[in-house]
Amino acid sequence: MTQEHSRQSVPALFGLHDRVVAVIGAGSGIGEAVAHACAGLGATVACLDIDVDAAQRVSEDLKGAGASGAEAARMDILDGEGVRTYLSDLAARHGRLDGVVCTPAINVRKPILSYTAEEFQKVVNMNLGGSFNVLQSAGRIMKDAGRGSIVLFSSIRAKVVEPGQSVYAATKSGIIQLARTAAAELSPHGVRVNALTPGVVETPLTKPIKSQPDWYKAYADHNALGRWAQPMEMAGPTAFLLTDAASYITGSAMYVDGGWTAIDGRFQPPGMS
């Protein structure tokens, strides 16, 4: 902790007042919850999503809730130049870019032997390539500024898998290694990089699972808390990683999974309840 941090009050350590944060994927689900959490902690939030109407709706919601500042724009993380241009412009207009969060991902649930080359490239390009584009652009801006925090989104599938998760799991494991390497390279310049690794979260993308009660219950029963997470339960840990309270955390994979990876494959022996 720097001397500046050591003089901050505890509430200030956990705040984002006067900070500028870009949340990619803010139009729904976890990204929307993260945008609300950052705004609630005092940040000016750029709500970015490939669905610009959804991003604009969230931006307006933040303003209506009293956010210190909010804006919206379309962002496709597959467009590396577009990512670079917007983030550079955001930093120039506000004189700073303190935090960037990247949540978008896709999954094609199929056995390895059934995967097509096109499906493989689609998942790898979005999850790994898109995260790399965001990491590289944000990292360059923050390196020059000498400060900043980047949060990429991984998954429990980086550690534990099941049939049909091969390519998705590989990309999520790769994201952790990207974050670790970026932390090693950028920490001397005051930039922290971490990965958040959610468990099962109720979002628009997981609706197909929720519509199948047996599958939904199986996932709920597989973690220590016995339930799915809500998006806001991912937002708190993500926003924390952007604050000065997390000033000594970099290169980490933070598992927010209800205890899934702690008890994976559990068996309750007789008499142990």
Nearest C-alpha neighbor of 152 from the set 165, 171, 170 = 171
Matching residue, tokens 């709706």: 57
Q: Per the structure block, which two tokens stand in for 248?
A: 């000594």
Task: Quote the Cα angle for 20-22-26, to 5°.
Answer: 135
Contact criterion met (CB below 8 Å) for 186 and 139: yes
- Report the length, in residues, of the chain: 273
Residue 89, judged by CB atoms within 10 A of its CB (0-12, 13-18, 19+), counts as exposed
φ, ψ of residue 193 in degrees (nearest 5): -135, 125
Please report the DSSP string for 53-96 in residue order: HHHHHHHHHHHHTT-SEEEEEE--TT-HHHHHHHHHHHHHHHT-
255 is catalytic: no
Nearest C-alpha neighbor of 172 from the set 245, 221, 228, 102 = 102
Residue ranges in the chain assigned as alpha helix (H): 3-6, 10-13, 29-40, 52-64, 80-94, 117-124, 130-145, 166-186, 207-210, 213-221, 232-242, 260-263
Bridge-partner residues for 193, per DSSP? 150
Of residues 86, 115, 168, 216, which has the active-site annotation?
Answer: 168
- Residues marked active site are found at 168
